[in-house]
Amino acid sequence: MEAAVVDAGSKLLKAGPAIPDQAPSMIIPTQMKRMIEDGSSADNSLVEDVTVDPVVRGFVRDWDAMEDLLHHVLYTGLGWEVGNEGQILFTDPLCTPKAVREQLVQLLFETFNVSGFYASEQAVLSLYAVGRISGCTVDIGHGKIDIAPVLEGAVQQIASRRFEIGGIDLTKLLAQELGKSNPMVNLSILDVEKIKEQYSCCAEDEVAYNRTVKSCETEEHTLPDGQVIRIGRERYTVGEALFQPSILGLEAHGIVEQLARSISTVSSENQKQLLENTVLCGGTTSMIGFEDRFQKEASLCSSAIRPSLIKPPEYMPENLTMYSAWVGGAILAKVVFPQNQHVTKADYDETGPSVVHRKCF
């Protein structure tokens, strides 16, 4: 049985057997519904579903919900059998707290009885997916943006940057903008999320964006409930906020300048290697025009060495930016488990959850 690879993001969970040149067999929402008991009633009858988020801004926040989600993924989705559980590799977000890593390995060995466990940082895995062991990842997820320089398979933590904004914040921004131009329409966050995915794009540069503010063609979009809204310049605002964070009300540099400043803290002999092997990750980076805008901004940034984007190999699955960490995890799983570099049940029984820090780098 192939090892399972799980990449649990704030919005989507990607899982599947470790087959690197294929997309993950499961891509499902991480958010889930749970039934809760109404303690005020005599028979403790169940009330309506409550929506819970097991993962918030990249980290597990609700462990009971995470247990339920993994039970569905492993036994229903991947076909594991109780009493015959396999090996599993998890992706670690940047700056994962030690306590979270320990609680995860404890859950997997004690509740799911896995036969082997390994975890590796998402930035490292995303580079593996494009055939690199050194470079820099710019990961724009649902709940955070991570910029992580990686040298010889090791994240340079001191130079890494995490920003507590992400796709969900861009969705809220779009909701505000659409609300201004369509004041009579009632929009749900789910509606706005779908509009963002369908219409959002990046302007060629700041000058082009300013032109859209003054004059931009609009088109009509019909919501599931039949309401009709008009979408114009708002489609460009989402992408522009990544290059002009002031749109989000933040006093910060744009994402390319943040990358250059992050790399400037690494020793000078490594800066060229890092910047010239930059990888974009996360669903937001697949926005129309984002890559072109990123490269144009790179030619204007303060760094003497310009960031240069790496293209995924042709044999890799399409839309690799959406799940590059998962693909890298599938590649790594083919190495660590056959070579017995993983945490075994015997390791866990002897040392406890802290063994994860010694065996998983």
- DSSP alpha helices (H): ranges in the chain? 63-71, 98-110, 122-129, 167-181, 189-199, 206-214, 234-243, 255-263, 268-275, 290-298, 324-336, 345-351, 355-359
Confidence of residue 3 (pLDDT cuts 50, 70, 90): very high
Residues 123 and 137 in one domain: no
Residues 269 and 336 in one domain: no
Confidence of residue 38 (pLDDT cuts 50, 70, 90): low
Query: What's the confidence (pLDDT) of residue 21?
Result: 86
> Sign of dihedral through CA atoms 149, 152, 154, 158?
negative
Query: What's the confidence (pLDDT) of residue 47?
Result: 64
- Per the structure, the complete domain to which residue 178 belongs is given by 131-311
Residues 186 and 246 in one domain: yes
Q: Give the alpha-carbon dihedral of 258, 148, 285, 167, to 10 degrees.
A: -80
Mean pLDDT in residue range 54-68: 94
Residues 151 and 279 in one domain: yes
Residues 265 and 349 in one domain: no
Residues 116 and 167 in one domain: no
Q: What is the pLDDT of residues 112-166, one digit of tens each?
A: 999 999 999 999 999 999 999 999 999 999 999 999 999 999 999 999 999 989 9
Residues 86 and 153 in one domain: no
What is the rounded CA–CA span in Å between residue 110 and residue 76?
19
Confidence of residue 195 (pLDDT cuts 50, 70, 90): very high
> In this structure, what token pair is assigned to residue 77?
């989705």
Query: What's the confidence (pLDDT) of residue 314?
Result: 82
Element (H, E) at 228: strand 228-231
Query: b or e along 257-286 (b: 16 or more beta carbons within 10 Å of the residue's beta carbon)?
Result: bbbbbbbeebeeebbebbbbbbbbbbbbbb
Residues 331 and 307 in one domain: no
Confidence of residue 312 (pLDDT cuts 50, 70, 90): confident
What is the rounded CA–CA span in Å between residue 349 and residue 361?
20
* Residues recorded for the chain: 361
Residues 113 and 154 in one domain: no
Cβ contact 178:195 at 8 Å: yes
pLDDT > 90? residue 71: yes
Task: Supply the CATH number for residue 249's domain.
Answer: 3.30.420.40
Mean pLDDT in residue range 276-284: 94
Residues 25 and 105 in one domain: yes
Confidence of residue 243 (pLDDT cuts 50, 70, 90): very high
pLDDT > 70? residue 48: no
Residue with tokens 């039934």: 35
Mean pLDDT in residue range 269-280: 94
pLDDT > 90? residue 43: no
Confidence of residue 33 (pLDDT cuts 50, 70, 90): confident
pLDDT > 70? residue 42: no
- Average pLDDT score, the chain: 92
Mean pLDDT in residue range 78-104: 95
Bigger pLDDT: 36 vs 52: 52
Q: Residue type at 3?
A: A
Residues 95 and 240 in one domain: no
Cβ contact 39:355 at 8 Å: no
Phi, psi of 136 (to 5 degrees): -140, 135
Phi, psi of 41 (to 5 degrees): -90, 155
Confidence of residue 217 (pLDDT cuts 50, 70, 90): confident
How many domains are there within the chain? Answer: 2
Collapse the DSSP code of 140 into the 3-class scheme (helix H, G, I; strand E, B; otherwise coil) and give the result: strand
Q: What is the pLDDT of residues 221-240, one digit of tens each?
A: 999 999 999 999 999 999 99
How many angstroms separate the most distant Cα atoms in the chain?
71
Q: Give the alpha-carbon dihedral of 323, 324, 327, 333, to 10 degrees.
A: -110
Residues 233 and 282 in one domain: yes
Query: What's the confidence (pLDDT) of residue 46?
Result: 57
> In this structure, what token pair is assigned to residue 206?
């700041």
pLDDT > 70? residue 45: no
What is the rounded CA–CA span in Å between residue 326 and residue 19?
10
